[in-house]
Structure 1
Amino acid sequence: MAILFFEEDIKFSLKEKNKTKRWLRDIAKLQGFKIGELNYIFCSDEYLYQINVEYLNHNTYTDIITFDNSEKEKIIEGDVFLSIERIKENAIKEKVSFEKEMTRVMSHGLLHLMGYKDKKEEDRIIMREMENKAILIYDKQTVSRGTIND
């Protein structure tokens, strides 16, 4: 069971890595899943754009792309690519902190790996509700455990 963080084509270090790992495991557990190997790769807009074009044939920029590598039911394995630049832009647009937007996007990737979709409007509504629940869980961990510097 490993949750790993990498960077590609950008300098970025996630704060509070251990807290984030606990939080991701908690979200999975609440949905009846276990995390096998989960990789979060923080990258530039251009890096993620190239992945979008090459692997998904989408000629657009995005904040996240998730690849599901799971082979067993209820065991999460995957790679989640996140554009730091796009997350910063979205935080400004949505008038939320970068940290809150990062939490939302990280949970979004995990939710995809648990089977949640977001192509149809009704699926997007459910996805957003689940993201909001995940953010609340993260915030509660901050209150109950205090700030942890990993």
Structure 2
Amino acid sequence: MDLEIFNDDNLIGEARQKWVEDLADFAATDLELADNTQLSIHFVTKNEIHEINKKYRDVDRATDVISFAINDGEDSLDYLEQQIPDLPVDLGDLFISVEIVKEHADEYEHSFDRELGYTIVHGILHLNGYDHIEPEDEKVMIGLQEKILSAYGLKK
């Protein structure tokens, strides 16, 4: 996976950034994503994610993760892949508030790494078309999420 991390304010340290790369690669392998799959993760403050949520989702509050899928339910990528077989697959962008992740870790009594891992894998699954709106879909998504996290060593 070609992962680009935006951590301009150094909200996570260098060692944890490497860990994020490893987890994203692990999830991509588990999901059998193509090697040329692209994804970006932006680590932002609580205020920044609040503004993003308000501007793009019309929700006036901070959240832990927001995903912006490049190809959200469109078939145009299939056509392009037929025309250009080695075209990289860009999943989109994840915006993660490190402060909210920390708050959730404290609230749910998880380690910070467990909560950050949960947030990253959850976002990657959303970018791959999974959702949890309907109970059946939630069961599939959360089951897959827990499988990936447990296999990576991030158990509850």
Range into which the TM-score falls when normalised by the shorter chain = 0.7 to 0.9
Give SS of 2:6's match: strand
Q: Residues of 1 paired with 2:58 and 2:141: CA distance?
A: 23
Give aligned pairs, total.
140
Matches for 1:1-150 after TM superposition, within 5 Å: 1-7=1-7, 11-13=11-13, 15-34=15-34, 36-70=37-71, 72=77, 75-139=89-153
Deviation of 1:53 (Å): 0.6
Give the letter for the 1:105 counterpart.
T
Residues 110-137 of structure 1: per-residue CA shift (max 9 Å, x gap) = 0001111022344333322222112112
- Contact 1:49 1:62 (C-alpha < 8 Å) held by counterparts: yes
Deviation of 1:10 (Å): 6.1
Q: Which runs of 5+ in 1 are unaligned?
A: 141-150
Q: Percent identity, please.
A: 26
Give SS of 2:15's match: coil
Give SS of 1:72's match: helix
Deviation of 1:76 (Å): 4.4
- Structure 1 runs of 4+ aligned residues shifted over 6 Å read none
TM-score by length of 2: 0.76
Q: Residues of 1 paired with 2:98 and 2:17: CA distance?
A: 16
Q: Residues of 1 paired with 2:121 and 2:144: CA distance?
A: 8
- Contact 1:39 1:78 (C-alpha < 8 Å) held by counterparts: yes
Give the letter for the 1:40 counterpart.
I
Q: Residues of 2 paired with 1:88 and 1:19: CA distance?
A: 17
Root-mean-square deviation (CA), in Å?
2.5
- Contact 1:76 1:113 (C-alpha < 8 Å) held by counterparts: no
Q: Residues of 2 paired with 1:120 and 1:57: CA distance?
A: 22
Deviation of 1:8 (Å): 5.2
Q: Residues of 2 paired with 1:60 and 1:125: CA distance?
A: 26
Q: Residues of 2 paired with 1:36 and 1:23: CA distance?
A: 15
Q: Which runs of 5+ in 2 are unaligned?
A: 79-87
